[in-house]
Structure 1
Amino acid sequence: MANIPQELQFTKEHEYVKATDDPNVVVIGITDYAQGELGDIVYVDLPKPGTSFGAHDVFGTIEAVKAVSELYAPVAGEVVEVNPRLDGEPALVNTDPYGDGWMIKVRVAADADRSALMDAGAYSSLIG
């Protein structure tokens, strides 16, 4: 059974959004379910700080032994930080997707719509 933290929000593409101490900044990564489906992650290609994107835009790619998948932005905003550890330790996404395996921190756009994000219960139903 996949780990689905109650305090997070989720997308149907298996990204999560985690609040930070700054109400305008969120942490984004992929879910435990997604990393399990991908298998051993060998590379993560992420945007540079300062990059802006809209909700549902591709913000990077994740490469596993058996597949390469695009990463989709759950909310519109600007990248303020990228997890530097993933360059040398992409497997952190496998071992700790909600902790050390986070991908980017985003300053959420003022007009960002979070209504499409799911709570833990809805995400749990999605993945069965």
Structure 2
Amino acid sequence: MSNIPDDLNYTKEHEWVAGVDDGITVTIGITAYAAEQLGDVVFVQLPEAGSTVEAGDSVGEVESTKSVSEIYTPVGGEVVEVNQTVVDDPSLANSDPYGDGWLFRVRVEGDPEDLLSAEEYTALTSGES
């Protein structure tokens, strides 16, 4: 079973969200479960810093040796930072999805919707939901 940190929120599209409680800026990445399902990540395309996104928007792609998957933003607001390190070394999405493999940060406008707790995400990924 994938490592699912308790201190993060999750989406049904297998992204994680950190910093929801501070209400200002959140960090978004793909979960270890998503990285395992994708296989070896070879390319990451992220939104541009300074762009405005709406919750639920497709904002980029993760390409692996198996497939291409869309990245959806679970929050709306302004993209304030992208992780150039993961763009330069996409394998970080596999090796450290909750650390150096984070994808982008958004200054949140409005409340995030439909986020799951670690317990709810565990149930989703184990087929109980």
TM bucket normalised to smaller: over 0.9
Structure 2 counterpart of 1:78, one-letter code: E
Residue in 2 that maps onto 1:71 = 71
Pair 1:6-2:9 in alignment: no
What CA distance in whole angstroms lies between the structure 1 residues aligned with 2:122 and 2:22?
27
What CA distance in whole angstroms lies between the structure 1 residues aligned with 2:20 and 2:123?
26
What CA distance in whole angstroms lies between the structure 1 residues aligned with 2:113 and 2:69?
24
TM-score, normalised to structure 2, is 0.93
Residue in 1 that maps onto 2:105 = 105
Pair 1:39-2:53 in alignment: no
Give the C-alpha shift of residue 25 in structure 1: 0.4
Q: Aligned Cα RMSD in Å? A: 1.4
- Hey, which bits of structure 1, 4+ residues long, moved more than 4 A? none
Unpaired runs of 5+ in structure 2? none
Give the C-alpha shift of residue 86 in structure 1: 1.5
Q: How many residues align?
A: 126
Residue in 2 that maps onto 1:121 = 119
Unpaired runs of 5+ in structure 1? none
Residue in 2 that maps onto 1:26 = 26
Give the C-alpha shift of residue 21 in structure 1: 9.5
Residue in 1 that maps onto 2:58 = 58
Q: Percent identity?
A: 50
Structure 1 counterpart of 2:34, one-letter code: A
Equivalent position SS for 1:74? coil
**Is the alpha carbon distance of 1:55 and 1:115 closer, same or farther for their aligned partners in structure 2, counting shifts above 3 Å?**
closer
Are the aligned partners of 2:75 and 2:113 in contact in 1 as well (CA < 8 Å)? no
Give the C-alpha shift of residue 77 in structure 1: 1.3
Equivalent position SS for 2:116? coil
Give the C-alpha shift of residue 83 in structure 1: 0.3
TM-score, normalised to structure 1, is 0.94
What CA distance in whole angstroms lies between the structure 1 residues aligned with 2:57 and 2:20?
22
Give the C-alpha shift of residue 45 in structure 1: 0.4
Give the C-alpha shift of residue 97 in structure 1: 0.2
Give the C-alpha shift of residue 23 in structure 1: 3.8
